[in-house]
């Protein structure tokens, strides 16, 4: 991961938005973030972690995290972090929340993630930083962003926790093959059991049984072929006899058919004669009879038409006379239609005149009623003007008496600054007392252990050397004791007559005296245990005093810095007191100022109330003035309407034509409207009746003329049809004489038969043809059966014999088919058994192999083994720098439990726990391991550059070690590694090529400045 940009707003001490451009810092490979204690340096690391993971070390979700992390003078917090991940993809993470109306409540944390693609920020579905960095929050703190106090965590992790961390970082879970092997073993065992069950069903299957069945099938097939040949020969002979029998049966049928046809021959001849008579009569009489019939029908239709037209003529004439009678009734009134229309128009004018007079009366009344209202509103306007002038004069006098606001603001600012300085001085003194107590407690620890703070390390080392020398002496005694035990055992094993292994003598006159050495051994072990306990206690004391020494130095520095700050605050307070220049007030007594401020507030409240009254009066005055203008406009409009109505009345009187105004002066408007409606209805009735009667009379006259002409044409058509019908009847009489018929009824009787000529003729032809063909077939059949020697009893015997042979053949076929199926089944079962046996052998071999793998991958042994390889590799990489930092005195390694140990070359290469390292040595070891881990992650992710942060830790190094550490860190730039350092040690600023400074302003919060 490579950081690009960070902005912080409203987080902890960061009241205002602060930004860091990491691109200028990371160019140098090594950069620093400096500031005093509490300035907000570590908050930068915490902001990065919180944006990526939504987690923080200081607070958890149950501790009102968003409220406690939000700056008390800010209403919202926002963190924006941009970076490149391991494959150079650019991401942005945003975390933000706000304060609600209730001060102690905040909105829920909102986190968003974006990726820079196609020239813009595109949102991601998940804001989980682990998906981008491939590290959990815990491992991110151990490898990339290492917070304050957590730098040694990876070094001091237990073996199991460190293995879990290695699994996640290096994806070692892919080597955890135990569950997969167990699954494969279960599947293989299940398959093996299935194969065993399957093989148990093939116990009756063998190659010998298959061979016997095949021989039985061969014999059965030979017998079947012989039976098929016999059956085929019998079938041929039987088919010949069946053909002879069929011909004899067919001959009998044909003889019966010929006899039947001879019986039907007279009937066919009679049909042939009737058909000839029908055809000649139809040809001679059909057309002329149809024409005569058509003329007769047309004559009847014309006669009916003449009758209908005569009736319509009479009805039309009667209707015409009636309509003319009605026309004569309305003719006199219709001639006065124009007079009625003028009368209707005059009635309309009279109604308008009455309506206009009523409107004139209403307008006059409104004018009389409205003038008093206008006077009242004008009086109200005058009173409001007078009140408004009085209030304005009163407000002006109040403003002249108002006190100077600038003096109040200056005094209030001065008193607030005084309170702030006093609070800060009190807090500083209280904090100083706490730190003095902490420093006293640290000094007390040295006093309790009877050590001097100046040279306590030397005294402890001297005690440690004394204990180590005592241990060496005890080891020498233990060696001598072991030699004595061996000599005593050797002496006890000497036997007379056998040479001594040491001197070769065969005689052993005086054996070494045997002493009880167990007491000496127990005493030595007790002394060694006592010394080891003393060393352990000394080690614990050393660690405790180291912590106390660091705490004492830190508190001393903090007390010194606090004293400087306290002196500055007191100087600021003195300067502030000297800046008090208001003679009417006291710097020590705030009451006169508060009384003065209260009077000023009362005056301002009075002015505010008067201004509100003036505003209300002006609004009322505007409303009243609007009413005055509205009333004036309304009265003026009414006067104009009155003039217009008078003009309309005179105009209407002049337009009267038939009626006079005096004639209808006493009638009401409703009577005039009723009379007008009656007149208009009469006009409408006359117009509609005249139009309707005129159109009806004209239509009836036209219809009468058309009916008369149509009746005359129908009479002429009747005479023409009568002549044609007489001619046709004469022609029919001539034909009757020609064909010898007595009358027309006889002809009609023949034609009414309506014979189907084509059908009858075809039936006669088919009969003749069938009769001839049947006779020929009879002759042919008699010739075929002349020499076949057919006997019915012989044929029946052959049929029964063939049926028996056929049944025997079917039985043989079924028997052979059953044998074939059984042989095929035995062959398939044999092949299945062979395949199952082959598969069973393979599964058995796989079971043996899987058992070996299961033993190999049982538990997490193989993963721990791979993890130990990675840890050993980390140690090798880390030792390249650790040897240089420790001047080849110390080396890092791992034990069987995957825990780090230190090889101490100053003490014969003995191993010891990394917890025995001093603070500075622990920092060096942690730094080297962090660099090695970062290098491994960079190689794993194929990243060009890698980056990690270190928060504090440099205060534990002496000057020479600090030089070595910085040489190591600066050398990282050539290896494309970037390290960020956070520290309050001011001496480091000069040694860091790029840096920013963080300081906490009392008014505006933490600020970030780039150092030159």
831-859 pLDDT, tens digit per residue, is: 887 888 888 888 888 888 878 777 766 66
pLDDT band at 968 (very low <50, low <70, confident <90, very high): low
| Last-in-domain residue among 578, 596, 626 | 578
Across 368-385, average pLDDT? 82
Check residue 187 and give its pLDDT: 87
Which H, E and C letters describe 420-477, residue by residue? Answer: HHHHHHHHHHHHHHHHHHHHHHHHHHHHHCCCCCCCHHHHHHHHHHHHHHHHHHHHHH
Check residue 502 and give its pLDDT: 47
pLDDT tens column, 747-780:
777 777 777 778 878 888 888 888 788 888 778 8
Higher pLDDT: 842 or 156? It is 842
pLDDT tens column, 623-648:
888 888 887 888 788 888 888 888 88
| pLDDT at residue 699 is higher than 80 | yes
| pLDDT at residue 872 is higher than 70 | yes
On whether residue 664 sits in a domain, the answer given is no
| pLDDT at residue 178 is higher than 90 | no
Higher pLDDT: 241 or 484? It is 241
Check residue 50 and give its pLDDT: 92
pLDDT tens column, 514-572:
555 677 778 888 888 888 888 888 888 877 887 788 788 778 888 888 888 888 888 88
Check residue 141 and give its pLDDT: 76
pLDDT tens column, 123-152:
999 999 988 888 888 777 767 776 545 556
CATH of the domain at 136: 3.40.50.300
- The whole-angstrom distance between residue 732's C-alpha and the CA centroid of its chain comes to 103
On whether residue 77 sits in a domain, the answer given is yes
Check residue 107 and give its pLDDT: 92
Check residue 78 and give its pLDDT: 96
Across 432-443, average pLDDT? 85
Q: Which long-range contacts (CB under 8 A, 24 or more apart) does 183-187 make?
A: 184/850, 185/847, 185/850, 185/851, 185/854
| pLDDT at residue 501 is higher than 60 | no
pLDDT tens column, 238-288:
887 787 778 778 878 888 888 887 888 888 787 777 777 777 777 777 777
pLDDT band at 225 (very low <50, low <70, confident <90, very high): confident
Across 809-817, average pLDDT? 85
| pLDDT at residue 506 is higher than 50 | yes
Check residue 675 and give its pLDDT: 79
Higher pLDDT: 521 or 801? It is 801
Cα radius of gyration rounded to whole Å, the chain = 68
| pLDDT at residue 94 is higher than 80 | yes
On whether residue 548 sits in a domain, the answer given is yes
Check residue 720 and give its pLDDT: 83
| Last-in-domain residue among 533, 558, 578 | 578
Contact 44, 1007 (CB under 8 A): no
Angle at 393 between CA 389 and CA 396, to 5 degrees: 140
| pLDDT at residue 12 is higher than 80 | yes
On whether residue 723 sits in a domain, the answer given is no
Residue 908 — left, alpha, or beta (φ > 0 → left; ψ -120 to 50 → alpha)?
A: left
696: nearest Cα among 327, 355, 971: 327
| pLDDT at residue 98 is higher than 90 | yes
Across 653-659, average pLDDT? 75
On whether residue 337 sits in a domain, the answer given is no
Rounded distance, CA 430 to CA 424, Å? 10
Local structure of 336: helix, strand or coil = coil
Rounded distance, CA 916 to CA 885, Å? 17
Q: How many domains does the chain have?
A: 2
In the predicted model, what is the mean pLDDT of the chain?
Answer: 80
Higher pLDDT: 115 or 286? It is 115
List CB contacts of 830: < 8 A, sequence separation 6 or more: 205, 206, 207, 210
Strand order in the sheet with 120-123: 18-21, 2-9, 76-84, 90-98, 110-117, 120-123
* pTM score: 0.38
List CB contacts of 486: < 8 A, sequence separation 6 or more: none
Angle at 379 between CA 378 and CA 384, to 5 degrees: 95
Residue span of the structural domain in which 118 resides: 2-179+861-1010
How buried is 790 (Cβ within 10 angstroms: 0-12 exposed, 13-18 middle, 19+ buried)?
middle
| pLDDT at residue 196 is higher than 50 | yes
Of 60-74, 816-830, 884-898, 959-973, the one with minimum mean pLDDT is 959-973
| pLDDT at residue 6 is higher than 50 | yes
| Last-in-domain residue among 547, 578, 609 | 578
Check residue 484 and give its pLDDT: 65
Check residue 52 and give its pLDDT: 93
Contact 907, 973 (CB under 8 A): no
On whether residue 76 sits in a domain, the answer given is yes
Check residue 511 and give its pLDDT: 52
The β-bridge partners of 95 are 79, 111
| Segment (H or E) for 508 | none
On whether residue 265 sits in a domain, the answer given is no
Angle between helices 518-578 and 405-448 (to 10 degrees): 160
Across 26-46, average pLDDT? 86
pLDDT more than 70, % of the chain = 88
| pLDDT at residue 800 is higher than 90 | no
On whether residue 247 sits in a domain, the answer given is no
Q: What are the phi and psi torsion angles at 158 (to 5°)?
A: -70, 165
Could you say which DSSP state residue 866 is in? H
pLDDT band at 381 (very low <50, low <70, confident <90, very high): confident
């Amino acid at each position: 991961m490579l950081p690009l940009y960070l902005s912080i707003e409203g987080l902890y001490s960061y009241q205002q938005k602060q930004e860091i451009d990491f691109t200028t810092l990371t160019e140098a490979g090594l950069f620093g973030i400096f500031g005093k204690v509490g300035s907000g340096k570590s908050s930068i690391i915490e902001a990065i972690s919180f944006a990526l993971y939504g987690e923080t070390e200081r607070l958890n979700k149950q501790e009102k995290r968003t409220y406690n992390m939000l700056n008390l003078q800010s209403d919202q917090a926002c963190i924006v972090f941009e970076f490149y991940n391991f494959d150079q993809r650019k991401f942005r993470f945003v975390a933000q929340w706000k304060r609600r109306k209730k001060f102690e409540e905040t909105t829920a944390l909102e986190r968003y993630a974006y990726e820079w693609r196609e020239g813009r920020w595109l949102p991601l579905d998940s804001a989980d930083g682990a998906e981008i960095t491939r590290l959990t929050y815990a491992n991110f703190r151990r490898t990339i962003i290492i917070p304050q106090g957590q730098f040694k965590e990876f070094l001091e992790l237990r073996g199991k926790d460190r293995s879990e961390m290695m699994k996640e970082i290096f994806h070692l879970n892919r080597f955890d093959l135990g569950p997969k092997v167990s699954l494969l073993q279960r599947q293989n065992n299940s398959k093996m059991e299935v194969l065993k069950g399957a093989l148990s069903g093939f116990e009756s299957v063998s190659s010998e049984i298959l061979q016997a069945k095949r021989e039985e099938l061969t014999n059965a097939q030979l017998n079947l072929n012989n039976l098929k040949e016999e059956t085929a020969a019998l079938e041929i002979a039987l088919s010949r006899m069946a053909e002879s029998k069929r011909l004899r049966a067919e001959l009998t049928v044909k003889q019966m058919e010929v006899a039947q046809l001879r019986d039907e021959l007279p009937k066919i001849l009679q049909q042939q004669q009737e058909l000839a008579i029908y055809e000649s009569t139809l040809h001679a009489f059909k057309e002329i009879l149809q024409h005569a019939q058509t003329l007769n029908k047309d004559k009847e239709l014309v006669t009916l038409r003449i009758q209908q037209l005569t009736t319509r003529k009479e009805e039309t004439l009667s209707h015409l006379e009636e309509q003319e009678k009605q026309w004569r009734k309305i003719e006199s009134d219709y001639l006065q239609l124009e007079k009625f229309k003028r009368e209707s128009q005059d009635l309309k004018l009279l109604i308008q005149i009455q309506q206009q007079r009523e409107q004139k009366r209403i307008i006059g009344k409104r004018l009389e009623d409205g003038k008093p209202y206008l006077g009242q509103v004008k009086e109200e306007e005058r009173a409001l003007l007078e009140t408004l002038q009085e209030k304005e004069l009163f407000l002006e006098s109040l403003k002249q008496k108002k006190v100077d606001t600038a003096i109040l603001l200056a005094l209030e600012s001065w008193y607030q600054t005084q309170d702030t300085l006093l609070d800060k001085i009190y807090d500083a003194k209280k904090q100083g007392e706490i730190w003095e107590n902490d420093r006293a407690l640290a000094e007390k620890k040295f006093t309790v252990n009877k050590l001097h703070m100046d040279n306590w390390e030397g005294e402890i080392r001297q005690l440690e050397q004394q204990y180590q020398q005592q241990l060496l002496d005890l080891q020498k005694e233990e060696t001598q004791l072991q030699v004595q035990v061996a000599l005593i055992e050797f002496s006890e094993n000497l036997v007379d007559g056998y040479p001594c292994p040491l001197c070769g003598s065969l005689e052993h006159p005086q054996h070494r005296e045997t002493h009880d050495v167990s007491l000496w051994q127990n005493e030595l072990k007790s002394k060694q245990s006592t010394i080891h306990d003393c060393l352990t206690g000394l080690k614990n004391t050393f660690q405790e005093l180291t912590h106390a020494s660091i705490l004492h130095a830190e508190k001393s520095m903090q007390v010194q810095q606090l004293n400087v700050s306290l002196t500055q605050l007191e100087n600021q307070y003195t300067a502030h007191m000297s800046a008090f220049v208001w003679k009417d007030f006291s710097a020590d007594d705030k009451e006169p100022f508060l009384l003065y401020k209260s009077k000023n507030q009362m005056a301002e409240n009075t002015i505010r109330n008067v201004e509100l009254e003036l505003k209300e009066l002006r609004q009322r005055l505007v409303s009243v003035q609007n009413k005055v203008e509205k009333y004036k406009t309304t009265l003026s409009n009414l006067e104009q309407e009155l003039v217009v109505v008078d003009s309309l009345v005179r105009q209407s009187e002049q337009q009267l034509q038939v009626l006079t105004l005096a004639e209808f002066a006493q009638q009401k408007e409703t009577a005039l409207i009723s009379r007008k409606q009656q007149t208009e209805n009469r006009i409408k009735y006359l117009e509609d009746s005249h139009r309707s009667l005129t159109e009806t009379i004209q239509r009836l006259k036209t219809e009468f003329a058309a009916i008369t002409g149509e009746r005359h044409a129908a009479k002429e058509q009747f005479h023409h049809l009568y002549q044609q019908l007489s001619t046709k009847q004469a022609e029919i009489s001539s034909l009757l004489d020609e064909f010898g018929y007595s009358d027309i009824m006889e002809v009609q009787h023949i034609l009414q038969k309506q014979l189907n000529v084509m059908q009858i003729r075809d039936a006669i032809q088919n009969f003749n043809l069938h009769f001839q063909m049947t006779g020929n077939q009879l002759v042919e059949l008699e010739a075929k059966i002349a020499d076949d020697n057919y006997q019915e009893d012989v044929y029946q015997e052959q049929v029964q014999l063939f049926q028996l042979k056929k049944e025997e053949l079917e039985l043989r076929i079924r028997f052979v088919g059953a044998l074939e199926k059984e042989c095929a089944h035995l062959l398939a079962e044999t092949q299945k058994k062979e395949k199952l046996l082959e598969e069973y052998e393979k599964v058995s071999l796989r079971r043996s192999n899987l058992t070996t793998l299961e033993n190999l991958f049982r538990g997490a042994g193989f993963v721990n083994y791979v993890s130990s390889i990675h840890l050993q590799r980390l140690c090798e990489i880390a030792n390249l720098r650790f040897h240089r930092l420790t001047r080849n005195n110390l080396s890092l390694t791992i034990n069987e439990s995957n825990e780090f140990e230190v090889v101490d070359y100053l003490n014969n290469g003995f191993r010891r726990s990394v917890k025995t390292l001093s603070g500075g040595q622990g920092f060096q070891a942690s730094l080297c391991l962090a660099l090695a881990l970062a290098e491994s992650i960079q190689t794993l992710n194929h990243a060009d550059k890698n980056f990690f942060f270190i928060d504090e830790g440099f205060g534990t190094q002496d000057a020479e070690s600090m030089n070595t550490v910085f040489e190591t860190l600066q050398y990282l730039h050539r290896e494309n590694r970037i390290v960020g350092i956070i520290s309050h040690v001011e001496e480091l600023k000069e040694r860091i090529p790029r840096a920013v400074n963080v300081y906490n302003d009392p008014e505006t919060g933490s600020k970030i400045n780039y150092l030159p």
